[in-house]
Structure 1
């Protein structure tokens, strides 16, 4: 199974690209990116095609990173949407081995799910977003479960991923995933587990721009 990484550089003159990046952008982008894959893909096409994405802020404007286990059909993008290019990550993933030091980045939604007793006692919601040191501790646990031992960690709060979804009788419900971006270096402890987590994603909100774990060789190791 190949894993594809696609970079899309939206053209700010494109009306549809601007719409996808404003308002409830996470939902807009989810629909746009899923349109690049075959129709009639079953009840969970995102999972079937391993679709994960992240918006990267760059000096020239936002770029979209799309990862998938099926090559996207970039011809399905509107003609004026922007520049795009796909390549496989097979060589990078095949070269992973324990002891190798990597750079990583992941924009994820760190949360805690209190038990029913704790929720009732402190009047907490079912899912509590984590920030600061609590978010960092969450990431350390996630990295360990992904076959990585973090060496350095820098975390940065991001705007929440927002979307809407149909509810009942023509109404909609809001979706909100608090996000933190985690950057740093780490040593691989389990290469097979890391490959699986890269493909599966990390945490909640994968349909809305959360959970894409990107890696690259650290300087001096490639």
Structure 2
């Protein structure tokens, strides 16, 4: 597995066009591979995420089974004469994950649930829109995903019993775009979580980091990355 980081030149019109549509970015990411990796539900896959750290600092992160070639993105959305991307072998880091380790994490996800307005209607996927529901979505998946979101000491909880976990929702976006060949718009609600976790099951967490968490993985959701806490 490989982890790649590419800085996007947001001053360029072509860069803003790529950023405006998850479908366009998905196509650009998948074009980075001479042979598109097989996307299996139970195996490693191509995951990507856009991090907007500031107005002038936007990064594309990619996790993939093979190395990508982002030459086309440098030409369209980077700095053609000085821009480059960094690709790292991800396996040594993944192999060092141990139970009890604590890491800072970032995850962009598509928190949804099934709902219906009455008993006569079929259930359908509906986005969680409230902060508490979006947080609960993450907490409900942490055990199976191999981690536990760290809890704050009581004296650091702004609202005791409510502000319990070391996690914030830093960005919420609603994107509307069209899939290729379809005239119907697709609306995608995304949430970016920043927080601190403890590894509870290293193997399960490795699966989470390489297979993604939640839905809409093709459209920039599901990629969790770790950094020193």
TM > 0.5 between the two?
Answer: yes
**Residue ranges of structure 1 left out of the alignment (5+ in a row):** none
The offset of 1:36, in angstroms, is 0.3
Give 2:111's aligned residue.
110
Q: TM-score w.r.t. structure 1 length?
A: 0.82
Deviations 1:4-49 (A, max 9, x none): 1111112245443221012xx211100111100124666x589987
Unaligned ranges ≥5, structure 2: 151-165
1:27 to 9, 23, 27: 23
- SS at structure 1 position matched to 2:189: strand
Equivalent residue, structure 2, for 1:182 = 193
Q: Does 2:167 align with 1:172?
A: no
Provide Cα deviations, 1:179-200, integer angstroms capped at 9, x if missing partner.
Answer: 1111111111100000011111
Partner residue, 1:56: 51
Deviation at 1:178? 0.9
Deviations 1:113-156 (A, max 9, x none): 13xxx543396860121131111111011222111011112123
Taking the aligned partners of 1:45 and 1:147, their CA distance within structure 2 comes to: 20
CA RMSD, aligned part only?
Answer: 2.5
The residue number in structure 2 matching 1:147 is 146
SS at match of 1:215: strand
Map of 1:10 onto structure 2:
8
Q: TM-score, with normalisation over the residues of structure 2? A: 0.80
Tell whether the 8 Å contact from 1:46 to 1:207 is kept in structure 2 after alignment.
Answer: no
Q: 1:45 to 1:98 in 2, by over 3 A?
A: closer
Secondary structure at the counterpart of residue 113 of structure 1: strand
**Which residue matches 1:163?**
177
Report the counterpart of residue 71 of structure 2 in structure 1.
75
